Amino acid sequence: MAAKRRSFGLTKKALVIFLLFIILPTLGVGVIVQYRFTLVLHDQFVQATRVSLDTVTNQLEEQIKMVEDIADYLILNPDMRDFLRIHSPLSGDQLDNRKQNIEDFLTFQLMSKNYIKSITISGRNGNSIQMGEPVRGNEQLWLKQADLLKGGIVWSEGYPIYSDWSGNIRLISLFRVLNSYTDISVPLGHLVIRLNESSVAGLLESGIVKENGSVFVVGPQGENILQTGSLLPDGFRPEAELLSRLKAEEDGFFSYKLQQSSYLTFYHEMKNTDWTVVAMVPQSVLDNELRGVKWTMNLILCSILLLGLTALFGFHYTIIRPILRLKKETNRVKLGDFSARVPIESNDEIAELNSQFNDMVVTIKELIEHKYKLELREREAELKLLQNQMDPHFLYNTLDMIRWTARLEKAEQSSQLIEMLSKFFRSSLNSGSYVTTILQELEFVRSYLYLQQRRLGKKLVYTLYTEATIAGTVTLKATIQPLVENFLKHGLDRKKRVNSISVRCYVDDGEIWMDVRDNGKGFPSAQLEALNFSLRHGSSGSGGRTGAIHNIHERLSIHFGEGYGLELMQTDGEGAWIRLKIPFTGNGGGVEHEEQPRGIETDDPDADR
């Protein structure tokens, strides 16, 4: 189970998050928005078409009403009654006067209403008036219908006729019998007002764009008064099913199927004529308009998904990929490869994490190397000590036996030398530990110098001093004694009467300084600078006097950290001055020791402290 959890890495998690919170919501919202937007556009299209159809229908009603008002006016006009009366016809001048008045009125109507092509008045008394375009054609069918209605208005369907001015044209005409005003049962003549079918069709098409469908004007008996448009099948006329739907529907809109195609059907009834204006728009027209909107919305949806994929790629490249790379390098460190590093390619938090990882690897490597070197140095020191002794206890016991034998033989000076040699060996071993205190290290140095002084006599003078507050401070074993030994081996000037060396341990600037100074040969200035440079930059010594200095400095730096160790100081005159630096721990204890050359030894080796 744990292995499965580990295998579900950051990349898979990012893909799942992207799928759940970007792709699926975007697709869902896109489909819903597209569906809702399609409904809104559909409703807007239907509403706009209905408003346009209502507008043009009202305009057509107004035109038809104006034409019928002309017919009503002519019936009530006295000049018309006089012009058409059968009994007591007017004289020539009177007749011409009446005719002129009527023609003036009709001329005004023709000029103000350009959709009227011509007006014809034919009386039973033989008088007639022809205004507008002279036309010739068969109109008997509607004249007979007008006779049957005895004064009622008859509107024709669109029909062809010939005009002497325009040639073949199509008209929609009003036919009416003009009855006597005093005796309405007596017909005086016929009135024909002819309208240009193209003008009426143009009015209807202004509400419904030509390429968007067809418009019909249907009479009260289902007759086709007028048709315009071209997207319906050839020869189609409103059929019984369509007409029954027109009578049944109350919303002014429905969908009608014709030859496997759907049509959005709008209708509006004209009150004064009982005509119905029907507009049929193919569903494909609306679909074409919506197709552009759907394409735009799909483009937006794809753009959003593309941006999401780009964001996922950017997230993977800038966050997941660096983390996976850091994980890989961490595994290398885990396996012990401390050359692992991660590149720093930006200036963000991940770059800061990579930088800290690199620093951490360097620090771990340095700590391991320091610990390894320290342990190696201590093992070497222990090995040297073990090589220089066969058996410590056997050595101690043998020295004690020789010492007491010398005392029994009353050889006091030999006894003291043997005792100091025993102390020297005990201090050098120090129970196998590589650390000691400043006080114990000074005791070790004192034992060594005591023995060397007995060898050199008055030529050697030494002074040992430590502050009481730091006597118990822990330091590394064999750090001061090798420097003293270096002086006796390499720095002793045998031409001088007295060679002196001093060791002073004190606190300064929060550190413990242990100064080892002598009046021996010292170091040349160039060598002194080279030694300090090599100590600061970690170069190793080549052996001899400088090798011991480098060894002690490296041990102190490894144990106490950077900034601690040895430093060679400039002297005012002759001799060498080496300073050891370690941190101040605050432990108490201390001792001061000063030894002068002696000509006569005492029984107590500590008598001259």
Partners of 160 in the β-ladder: 170
Whole-angstrom distance, CA of residue 187 vs CA of residue 365: 128
Q: Are strands 511-518 and 499-508 parallel, antiparallel or unpaired?
A: antiparallel
| Secondary structure (DSSP) of 142-197 | HHHHHHHHTS--EE---EEEEETTTEEEEEEEEEEEEE-SS-TTSEEEEEEEEEEH
| R_g of the chain computed on alpha carbons | 64
pLDDT score for 84: 87
Which parts of 10-144 are beta strand (E)?
116-123, 128-132, 135-136
What pTM, to 2 d.p., does this model score?
Answer: 0.49
SS3 state of residue 499 = strand
Handedness of CA 9, 12, 18, 20 (dihedral sign): negative
pLDDT score for 588: 47
pLDDT score for 430: 57
Whole-angstrom distance, CA of residue 107 vs CA of residue 116: 11
Residue 69 phi, psi (nearest 5)? -65, -35
- Which residues, 6+ apart, have CB-to-CB distance to 465 below 8 Å? 502, 503, 504, 505, 506, 592, 593, 594
For 415, counting Cβ atoms within 10 Å of its Cβ (0-12 exposed, 13-18 middle, 19+ buried), the class is buried
| pLDDT per 10-residue tile (average), the chain, 609 residues | 56 80 81 83 81 83 90 88 82 88 92 91 91 91 91 89 91 91 84 90 69 74 74 60 67 72 79 79 77 82 85 82 84 83 82 86 80 72 55 56 65 66 61 77 87 83 93 89 87 86 92 93 86 78 67 86 88 87 68 40 36
For 296, counting Cβ atoms within 10 Å of its Cβ (0-12 exposed, 13-18 middle, 19+ buried), the class is exposed
pLDDT score for 320: 82
Count CB neighbours of 185 within 10 A.
Answer: 8
pLDDT score for 1: 43
pLDDT score for 13: 79
Residue 593 · residue 442 · CB < 8 Å: yes
pLDDT score for 607: 35
